Amino acid sequence: MTMTETAEGIVPDAAPPAIYRLAGVTRTYTQKGRVVKALAGVDLTIETGDFVTIQGPTGGGKSTLLQLLGALDRPSSGAVRLGHVDIATASNRELSRIRAHEIGFVFQGFNLIPTLTAHENVDMALEPLGLAKGERTARATEALTHVGLADRADHRPGELSGGQQQRVAIARAIVKRPRVLLADEPTGNLDESMRDEILEVLQALNEEGLTLIVVTHDSAVARRARRRLRLDRGTVRDITR
């Protein structure tokens, strides 16, 4: 907690507002003629700057929840607020703006374009922002430096290890300076040493103030978080100890 000196003395600064507030969120869809309830009345608050992991069985609703948090989908009912914006009722244009500016995504598959260099892969994430070429180049270089890959900027994905490719993917996610980073099994394709390498990068970003939400099956990953959630049969439990 930071403190501020005022005429009344030294007082604690106000806590930043929650980045996410979910209330009564459901998500249903039809699969092979039957109705599936992926989320069943989720109430959840995630504070700005938090590090949260989400665990649970396959089919328990983890990916569905991450899609809602990422403004990639809308709930069937309930509210999903990112700051002051309700994703459930926002226009498609507003959701596109949120995805372009406020949310970074990292996936299990690195999703890099194999014919482009690391720098070019990161630079592409800035296209929707309408920045000048010089600004884009500087920000892509900064992001790669941030994840320790400035010396690999001219390498294509095939010339990089799995851990290095995932670091490029993280650089691509943070280059637009988002408010939150959503990661879906970011270490799922990596061995133990590379897993720890990526976790150190993610934790450093969180310590700098970036809100981090990670879906994982790996308890070693989950234990790094300040807050652990379990999502099973569409409902959320806090299992932080």
CATH number, domain at 194?
Answer: 3.40.50.300
- pLDDT over 60 at 7, yes or no: no
In a domain, 13, yes or no: no
In a domain, 14, yes or no: no
CA atoms within a 13 Å half-sphere pointing along the CA-CB vector of 126: 24
> What DSSP line would sit under 40-66, residue for residue?
EEEEEEEETT-EEEEE--TTSSHHHHH
Q: Print burial letters for 126-141: b (CB count within 10 Å at least 16), e (below 16).
A: beeeeeeeeebeebbb
What's the predicted TM-score (pTM) here?
0.89
At 13, the pLDDT band (50, 70, 90 cuts) reads low
Least confident stretch, 4-8, 18-22, 40-44, 170-174: 4-8
In a domain, 77, yes or no: no
- pLDDT over 80 at 4, yes or no: no
User: In this predicted model, what pLDDT tens digit does every residue of 78-107 receive, in sequence order?
Assistant: 999 999 999 999 999 999 999 999 999 999
- pLDDT over 70 at 58, yes or no: yes
In a domain, 226, yes or no: yes
In a domain, 148, yes or no: yes
Map residue 36 onto helix, strand or coil. Answer: strand
Domain of 128?
A: 49-72+91-238
Evaluate whether 68 touches 20 at the Cβ level (below 8 Å): no
What per-residue confidence (pLDDT) applies to 15? 59
Structure tokens at 123: 């630079």
Task: Please give the torsion angle defined by the CA atoms of residues 196, 201, 203 and 206, in that order, rounded to the nearest 10 degrees.
Answer: -160
In a domain, 114, yes or no: yes
Which residue is associated with the tokens 């990112």? Answer: 82
* Domain count for the chain: 1
Average pLDDT over the chain, rounded to an integer: 91
In a domain, 25, yes or no: no
Query: CA distances (Å), 102 to each of 94, 174, 180, 216, in order?
Result: 11, 10, 7, 22
What per-residue confidence (pLDDT) applies to 1? 44
In a domain, 26, yes or no: no
